[in-house]
Amino acid sequence: MAETSVRELEAILLVGGQGTRLRPLTIGTPKPLLPTAGVPFLAHQLAQARAAGVRRIVFATSYRAEMFCEAFGDGSAFGLTLEYVTEETPLGTGGAIRNAAEALTCGPDAPVVVLNGDILSGHDIADQVARHVERGAALTLHLTEVEDPSRFGCVPTDDEGRVTAFLEKTPNPVTNRINAGCYVFTRSVIDTIPAGEVVSVERETFPGLIEAGALVLGYADASYWLDVGTPAAFVQGSRDLVLGRLPSPALPGPAGDLLALPGAVISPEAKVCEGTAVGARAAVHAGAKVTGSVLGDDCVVESEAIVADSVVGAGARVASGAVLRGAVVGDGAVVGPGNELLAGSRVWPGVVLPECAVRFSSDV
């Protein structure tokens, strides 16, 4: 048994979701490929998995499947072997894991890491695997604590760390401890998920295993953790990576107040800070202020504009004096002079917001 597991640790990466909550950013690009701190989001997860000893990863794809292979190829740039398996129609998290498992090479007793493809986590995956193997568990779930567990899988455990229930998105959570989206399965357990069917691990497989008395463990820790599934969380994730709050081997430069990709032109009279990532060839003009934001490739932020905690898509333009706070501007869109977009505002790709007649104060 140890022979297979030590030889080559394998993982399955779940990346088939549509990323609906991140529209319009995810209209053309799946959530796991959105530029985050200068690289596609998944680059951070791949580098971290590699550092934890994973050597081979099977991508479980569905939505815009071909784009993953275009982005990461055979994985050699990461020191990984990557395989791509595509569901013609989405099979749900459990069906996707079962389907992707066809491309695993390990034996039935080996541990297999399964990762949700929208998570930034500083936890020690290698230690999670080691604990799983040590205790001979069927399944070991990474757990973290959040303020509002109702949006996640709520996971109570007993004194020995054994999971006693799995309550997906329950309005009445019994603990703040939630499923953090990184699992270690014993391979043979994956093979018990029905093939070719839509299955949810959260609603079917996990509760079923617990009910059947299988050893399901929690691996709880308090390291950095974030699901980047909403615009606010996505911006926060990029910012935290740029600032070095979550160290990432994939960050294309030193951590600091600002990350600027090649060809970016930032006026010395502009202020760009608080973990902002500036895309390739993007321009920030004199007097503009950009804080904690993600600026896409080739976008322009004109003079005296204010961009705070926002995403500006590739090739978009934020005109002089416009204000964005917690907003998302799609690729190629134009926010005309004087517009003020507040938290939750979304501008669809290519849309042009004309100059706003009523000028807002641009004081901050």
Burial of residue 24, with CB atoms counted within 10 A of its CB: 0-12 exposed, 13-18 middle, 19 or more buried? buried
Task: In whole angstroms, give the CA distance from residue 319 to residue 288.
Answer: 10
Task: In whole angstroms, give the CA distance from residue 320 to residue 304.
Answer: 6
Instruction: State which residue has the least CB distance to ligand GDD.
Output: 16
Check residue 153 for interaction with ligand GDD (CB under 6 A). Answer: yes
Handedness of CA 14, 20, 23, 28 (dihedral sign): positive
Residue with tokens 């604990």: 131
Q: What is the CA radius of gyration of the chain?
A: 22
Instruction: State which residue has the least CB distance to Mg ion.
Output: 229
Q: Out of 5, 29, 45, 93, name the contact with ligand GDD by CB under 6 A.
A: 93
Which pair of structure tokens corresponds to residue 50? 């590699």
Check residue 152 for interaction with ligand GDD (CB under 6 A). Answer: yes
What percent of the chain is helix, strand and coil (3-state, nearest 5)?
25, 30, 50
Check residue 202 for interaction with Mg ion (CB under 5 A). Answer: no
Q: Out of 178, 190, 243, 305, name the contact with ligand GDD by CB under 6 A.
A: 178
Nearer to ligand GDD, 119 or 333 (CB): 119
The minimum distance between CB 14 and ligand GDD, in angstroms, equals: 4
Which pair of structure tokens corresponds to residue 196? 């070719």
Q: Out of 41, 43, 104, 202, name the contact with ligand GDD by CB under 6 A.
A: 202
Is 169 annotated in the active site? yes
Residues 21-80 close enough to bind ligand GDD by CB under 6 A = 60-62
227-to-96, 119, 162, 237, 322 alpha-carbon distances in Å: 19, 5, 24, 8, 30
Task: In whole angstroms, give the CA distance from residue 284 to residue 194.
Answer: 53
> In this structure, how many other beta carbons lie within 10 angstroms of the beta carbon of residue 353?
18
Q: Out of 24, 32, 229, 296, name the contact with Mg ion by CB under 5 A.
A: 229
Which pair of structure tokens corresponds to residue 318? 């934020």
Check residue 227 for interaction with ligand GDD (CB under 6 A). Answer: yes
Residues 112-131 close enough to bind Mg ion by CB under 5 A = 118
Q: Out of 48, 128, 140, 179, name the contact with ligand GDD by CB under 6 A.
A: 179
Task: In whole angstroms, give the CA distance from residue 34 to residue 152.
Answer: 22
Q: Total residues contacting ligand GDD (rule CB under 6 A)? A: 26
The minimum distance between CB 275 and ligand GDD, in angstroms, equals: 22
Q: Out of 227, 298, 302, 331, name the contact with Mg ion by CB under 5 A.
A: 227
Q: Which residues bind Mg ion (CB under 5 A)?
A: 118, 227, 229
Q: Which active-site residues does the annotation give?
A: 169
Q: Which residues bind ligand GDD (CB under 6 A)?
A: 14-17, 60-62, 87, 90-93, 96, 116-119, 152-153, 168, 178-179, 181, 202, 227, 229
